Amino acid sequence: MFNDQKVSFSGVQPSGNLTIGNYLGALRNFSTYSEKYKTFYCVVDEHAITVRQVPADLRRRTYETLALYMACGLDPAKNTLYVQSHVHEHAELGWILNCFTMFGELSRMTQFKDKSVKHADNINAGLFTYPVLMAADILLYQTDVVPVGVDQKQHVEICRDIATRFNQLYPDTFTIPEPVVAKTGMKIMSLAEPTKKMSKSDENSNAVVYILDDRDTIMRKFKRAVTDSDSVVRYAEGKDGINNLMSIYACFTGKTFEEIEREFSGLGYGAFKEAVGQACADALAPVQEQFRTFMADKAMLEEQMKKGAEEASWYARRTLSKVQKRLGFTQFR
Ligand code: ATP
Ligand code: LTN
């Protein structure tokens, strides 16, 4: 809460091409808060360097992620859209919160365990303290709600623990945030291995549908999606592939699972996959068109970055200064 207004905050890493998992689990839900909340949506480039990035790619993806925020309906006049490294208070509060976070609690984070296996040659301290920087992102803005996919819920929970611990020592410093996970789209699975999360850093691009894939590619990927030896479109245990396609179809069409089962009764998997592909391509077409328009105007994107960073800094400075005062750091005017 900032000046009696509720706050929504979320972030996406510019670490790869964004997927329909990112879209349905996170981005699409951000605009829900634009009218009634003060909203901050950040491109978290400092988080992205916890794994090695090619500088030119990181730079391009930072612009692309900002353009995608806007293409997903986030109007910069109503939402503060900015890049994390442009607001130095994130890193500063991150350091302070490191001193209020326990080694043991960070060791339990599943994303750290997964990424340590995936990047065994580079298990750096940043990968380990990643959730502390994320807590700083959230707490700097006195955030009430954090819209995320279900994989990030654990990180919002550790953020709540850190904030509660800090508040016990220094009362009324931070608002305690709530994670908000959408009912459908909370976890979109890989099309090739439907027990695994669809992830933008997956090496098998056929397992992942990107927001910017063209219609033919989308249709082809859904056609090849792994299903099962049954042929009935039905949501059931053990039918991970079909369950995932049904969730995706439900997200794009707003239909319930019962309606989907009825619609495809007696039609088989071929017709169903075709319909999922069409629904996905139809929904993404306007986003892609807007994205191309925004990407063609780099000067406008840079102006938005600057404006966003100025807005965000104003809030971030206030919280950081409050924290520093409570800790006993000296200050002068
Ligand atoms: P990476 O593969 O680099 O770890 P990622 O695809 O998991 O990246 P993030 O930038 O970490 O993407 O996530 C941005 C937002 O998208 C987060 O809120 C996350 O919960 C959500 N998200 C990511 N993948 C999915 C998914 N498959 N289903 C639903 N939400 C997702
Ligand atoms: N950790 C998140 C990205 C992220 C974030 C945040 C999300 C960084 N800071 C603050 C919500 C709020 C991820 O990997 N998806």
**How far from the centroid of its chain's Cα atoms is residue 269's Cα?**
31
Q: Which of 75, 46, 51, 80 is nearest to 62 (CA)?
A: 46
| Ligand 2 center to 9 CA (angstroms) | 9
Give residue 201's pLDDT.
83
Rounded CA-CA distance 85/309 in Å is 9
Residues composing the chain: 333
Q: How many CB atoms lie within 10 A of CB 268?
A: 11
Tokens of 176: 């305690």
325 CA to centre of ligand 1 in angstroms: 35
Cβ-contact 200, 208 below 8 angstroms: yes
Domain ranges of the chain: 7-186+297-327, 205-292
Nearest CA to ligand 1 atom 19: 149
Give the span between the Cα atoms of 110 and 203, in whole angstroms.
20
Question: What is the distance between the alpha carbons of residues 195 and 148, in angstroms, rounded to a whole number?
Answer: 19
**Superfamily the domain 7-186+297-327 falls into:** HUPs (3.40.50.620)
Secondary structure (3-state) at 83:
strand
Looking at residue 194, what is its pLDDT? 96
- Closest ligand 1 atom, CA of 111? 4
How many Å lie between the centroid of ligand 2 and the Cα of residue 48?
Answer: 10
For residue 51, give the ligand 1 atom closest to its CA. 3
- The shares of helix, strand and coil residues in the chain, as percent rounded to the nearest 5, are 55, 10, 35
Distance 10 CA to ligand 2 centre (A): 6
Reading the chain (333 residues) residue by residue, the pLDDT tens digits are: 888 899 999 999 999 899 999 999 999 999 999 989 999 999 999 999 999 999 999 999 999 999 999 999 999 999 999 999 999 999 999 999 999 999 999 999 999 999 999 889 999 999 999 999 999 999 999 999 999 999 999 999 999 999 999 999 999 999 999 999 988 778 999 999 999 999 988 889 899 999 999 999 999 999 999 999 898 999 999 999 999 999 999 999 999 999 999 999 999 999 999 999 999 999 999 999 999 999 999 999 999 999 999 999 999 999 999 999 999 999 887
List, by residue number, the catalytic residues.
115, 197, 200
Statement: 205-292 belongs to CATH 1.10.580.10: no
The set of protein residues with a Cβ atom below 6 angstroms from ligand 1 is 12-13, 15-16, 19, 21-22, 25-26, 148-149, 151-152, 185-188, 197-201
pLDDT given for residue 1 in this prediction: 87
Task: Specify the pLDDT at position 332.
Answer: 86
Ligand nearest to the CA of 22: 1
Residue among 27, 42, 85, 186 whose CB has most ligand 2 atoms within 8 A, to mutate: 42
Orientation angle between helical segments 240-253 and 268-295, nearest 10 degrees: 50
